[in-house]
Chain A
Amino acid sequence: MSSSREDLLLPLLLLLFLLLLLHLASLCLQSLSLVASHACHPPPFSHLIPSAHQNSINPPPSPLSSHVHALVSPTPSTLFRCFYHRRGMAVSGFEGFEKRLELHFSGHDSLGLRRLRCDALAQVLDAVQCTVVSAVGNRYFDAYILSESSLFVYPYKMVLKTCGTTQLLRSVPCLLRHTAELGLRLRACRYSRGSFIFPRAQPFPHTSFAEEALYLEERLPPSLAFRKACVLPSSSSHSWHVYSASAADDDDRLAAGSWSTFTVEVCMTELDRSLARRFFRKKGDERSGDAVGADMTDLTEIGSINPRTLVCGFAFDPCGYSMNGLDRDSYSTIHVTPEEGHSYASFECTGRWAGGRAEVLDSLRKAIGVFRPGAVSVSFCMAPNVDENQVRSAVGDALEPLGLSCRSQAVEEFPGAGIVTYQTFTPRRE
């Protein structure tokens, strides 16, 4: 018996050695492909596109497509997909980072998009793979809490923000069909997102920013002639991706006075553990999402971020929280993925500059204070005549009392869409 065991021992050792070699080889290949994908990281598209200002009278057909095509062609990372699949399975969780789509329309009646029928909206959400959890409306707009984030419907503006592995952009063709039936014309589209924590888990067309831009390029009407796609970088591995398409340029919009509001999007990761735990349901608490959500709103003082806001909070099972806030014609929204390892929270709101500036900075500071995150990004989208230097330094000042220091800043102008800023913050090292 012992001799046969010794016979087996040598081949077993050889086999183990071979397996070890293979494993080392796969690790090497993985790290190589990581380097490769960094090198292939789409550079800011802006320098590839002739400035729209030069062509404001006769806008050229969008030159974006050919560049987007070049970026979509096979990258080295696709060759190593088999190794990524195994690695992706090991580290995976709910993707908190949202994809955000803002659409502007024009029409002739006072209700506009709010006339969209329930089945039309249901079809749109079906394409995205999410459902309505709760919804309210006031005189100015309708606000929906979805299974994966939020939807805001104004007469001529729609904001759809979804997280997880939803296919947000698939809403576009469906929406364009239904809005055409209502006699509404698309005037502008802006798509933005941060960097996914689990990028490999994303389905088409969200597998890369190039794919997303190409998807929009192919589906938006040619009347949206002013287009731009850009990745705003930061000092970390995170970036801010923005694609915009507009029928009118800056001058037209400024003249029309259609630029009264700004939007601010805040993304937070590495949430303080004890604060994140507040967004878990207590064991045995069988109450409704609304009831538990209301408790979470009170406990975390989310209601006091903007005292004028009417907050509709919802608690998911076993954890997670969403809220939509209504303050006259402004919305705000918060979404929380509290699980450790991939914790995430977002805060977004709109506002007006006249007198509203100090308010929004207070709201930003309070919202970030609810989560005490290890990393924050703040992105404003505003009219081109706003002093973005002032805005950036004001944000820095607002976050300073939280012990947060600005690590990077980027700014980009999008014709017809405005100025987009992107600032990242981490706690000051004592």
Chain B
Amino acid sequence: QIAQFGCCGKNTSLKLRGRMGNLFSRTSSSLVITIHSKGKWNQHWQSHLASNKLMVIDFSSSNCGPCRFIEPEINAMAARYTEIEFVKIDVDKLMEVAEKWDVEVVPTFVLVKRGKEVGRVVGADKKELEETIQQQLQHQQRY
């Protein structure tokens, strides 16, 4: 069963961009790349395939409380793990991408390397996401 998401409300990433203009804001405010259009996603996906970087796709919706709940943690992780790419996909705008990746609830975090899924965390569980990322980084270091 694939969830059908309706039109989203206010776009939270716009708020983030506005805050970036403030010199005294924390630098962790938007190292997460937010994807709004299919075109941008395709572009990004191609560059991911060409790289060797681990990518964390954050499937999210601005209607969803749990997504807002974990947002600061994701921003903090993006600042900390500079070797990982963090991408946020708005499931209300990019429904087909969410369906393709079997996303039924949000937030869902899909870890990908060289185009293949290497991990998945369903739900706003900061500890679980952190552990899954650590596992992947340790795995990378060995090879």
Cα–Cα distance between A118 and B71 once the two chains are bound (Å): 10
Contact A134 B125, beta carbon cutoff 8 Å: yes
Q: Which of A136-144, A364-372, A407-415 contacts B (4 or more CB under 8 A)?
A: A136-144
B64 and chain A: residue at smallest CB distance: A137
Contacts of A64 in B (CB 8 A): none
Contacts of B5 in A (CB 8 A): 139
Contact B124 A135, beta carbon cutoff 8 Å: yes
| Residue among A121, A133, A137, A144 making CB contact with B61, cutoff 8 Å | A137
CB of A172 closer than 8 Å to a CB of B: no
Contacts of B6 in A (CB 8 A): 139
B6 and chain A: residue at smallest CB distance: A139
CB of B111 closer than 8 Å to a CB of A: no
Contact B128 A136, beta carbon cutoff 8 Å: no
CB of B122 closer than 8 Å to a CB of A: yes
A133 and chain B: residue at smallest CB distance: B125
Contact A136 B9, beta carbon cutoff 8 Å: no
Contacts of B68 in A (CB 8 A): 117-118
CB of B115 closer than 8 Å to a CB of A: no
| Residue among A111, A132, A144, A289 making CB contact with B128, cutoff 8 Å | A289
Contact B3 A139, beta carbon cutoff 8 Å: yes
Contact A136 B66, beta carbon cutoff 8 Å: yes
Contact B131 A137, beta carbon cutoff 8 Å: no
CB of B13 closer than 8 Å to a CB of A: no
Contact B65 A114, beta carbon cutoff 8 Å: yes
Asked, given contacts A116-B65, A326-B105, whether A136 binds B124 with beta carbons under 8 Å apart, the answer is: yes
Contact B65 A288, beta carbon cutoff 8 Å: no
A153 and chain B: residue at smallest CB distance: B65
B92 and chain A: residue at smallest CB distance: A139
Contact B105 A134, beta carbon cutoff 8 Å: no
CB of B101 closer than 8 Å to a CB of A: no
B8 and chain A: residue at smallest CB distance: A111
Q: Determine which residue in A132, A135, A143, A310 has the highest number of CB atoms from chain B within 10 A of its CB, and name it.
A: A135
Distance (whole angstroms) from the CB of A277 to the closest CB of chain B: 24
Distance (whole angstroms) from the CB of B72 to the closest CB of chain A: 8
Contact B122 A137, beta carbon cutoff 8 Å: no
Contact B125 A290, beta carbon cutoff 8 Å: yes
A135 and chain B: residue at smallest CB distance: B66
Contact A137 B67, beta carbon cutoff 8 Å: yes
Contacts of B107 in A (CB 8 A): 136
Distance (whole angstroms) from the CB of A243 to the closest CB of chain B: 27
Cα–Cα distance between A291 and B125 once the two chains are bound (Å): 11
Q: Using CB atoms and an 8 Å cutoff, list the residues of chain A in contact with chain B.
A: 110-111, 114-118, 121, 132-139, 142-144, 153, 288-291, 308, 310, 312, 326-328
The 4 A-B pairs at the shortest CB distance, nearest first, are namely: A135-B66, A137-B64, A136-B105, A134-B125
Beyond A144-B65, A310-B105, list 7 extra A-B contacts (CB 8 Å).
A110-B9, A118-B68, A134-B125, A136-B122, A137-B64, A142-B65, A328-B1
